[in-house]
Amino acid sequence: MKINPPMLLQISRSYIKLVKADNFQRCFGRHFSTTETPTTNSIVDASLAVPISASSMESDNSKKKATDSTWVSKIVLYSFWQSSCSWRVRFALNLKGLSYEYRAVNLGKGEQFTSEFDKLNPLHYVPVLVDGDVVISDSYAILLYLEEKYHQRPLLPVEPQLRALNLQAASIVSSNMQPLHMLSVLRYMEERVGPEEKQLWAKFHIQKGFGALEKLLTGSAGKYATGDEVYMADVFLAPQIAVATKRFNIDMSEFPTLRKIYDSCETLPEFQASLSERQPDAPP
């Protein structure tokens, strides 16, 4: 059969319509997401892509999970309400709009030493994040993982210098400050040298770190640590400042740049939802 130009044009238009309809069905007809906030002292429901027909869509969903970073598996966060490391992760999850199941680990009662938790993190620290088959037990690594997998609301800027600056500030908090005043270290210090020396030790290292961060960020800070967008430096800084002022009575007037950054973070709903006292395992 000879196909004349008008007929060819009609066939092309019909094909385009079919492709568009199929793409629409693939994108919008198969699943949707819901987000819930914590309402009990044990869980936060994760965002789940809910298939219309699980049996008929299983293979298609498996392909989507493997190739599409917007697919959200059930995220589980093992956390302790007073842990500033866990706080960072809660803040980051909130910023990215990722809901999750909250599983409390009471460090005061030694629940981190159970055989079940030992399988998740042999170092017996929180946080631990479980995302499907992936288990990560370090807040710095967790945030980098979230940034790589879930691209919404980036926590690292594109510009290389600002990106490096965010990583440097986050590293100062996670490597040179928080480990020196974590619960296990302070207990050890108290047993060896007494409670007063313990507090002096913690304050010395916190103030040393804040002094370095104040100098590092003065030239780059806007509303937040590296401009007017919230990035990873802010996610690490804000919980650290909160703990420093409330638990160790650090006077932030000595660090005006950091104080301004914290004041900006404090107004964010995502930060408010991550506050220690708002977690399911916090005492009433």
Give 180-228 pLDDT, tens digit per residue. Answer: 878 788 888 888 888 888 889 999 999 999 999 999 999 999 999 999 9
169 pLDDT exceeds 90?
A: yes
Residues 6+ apart with CB under 8 A from 138: none
pLDDT of residue 184: 82
Counting residues of the chain whose pLDDT is more than 70, the rounded percentage is 74
Bridge-based pairing state of the strands 128-131 and 75-79: antiparallel
Mean pLDDT, residues 58-82: 64
Question: 89-138 pLDDT, tens per residue?
Answer: 999 999 999 999 999 999 999 999 999 999 999 999 999 999 999 999 99
Q: What is the pTM of this model?
A: 0.75
Please tell me the distance from the alpha carbon of residue 213 to that of residue 100, in angstroms, as a whole number.
Answer: 31
Residue 244 has pLDDT above 90, yes or no: yes
Q: Is the pLDDT of residue 6 over 90?
A: no
How far apart, in Å, do the first and last CA atoms of the chain sit?
81
Structure token pair of residue 196: 């007063």
Task: Order across the sheet with 101-104: list the strands.
Answer: 101-104, 75-79, 128-131, 134-136
Give the pLDDT of residue 61.
42
What does the pLDDT read at residue 23?
40
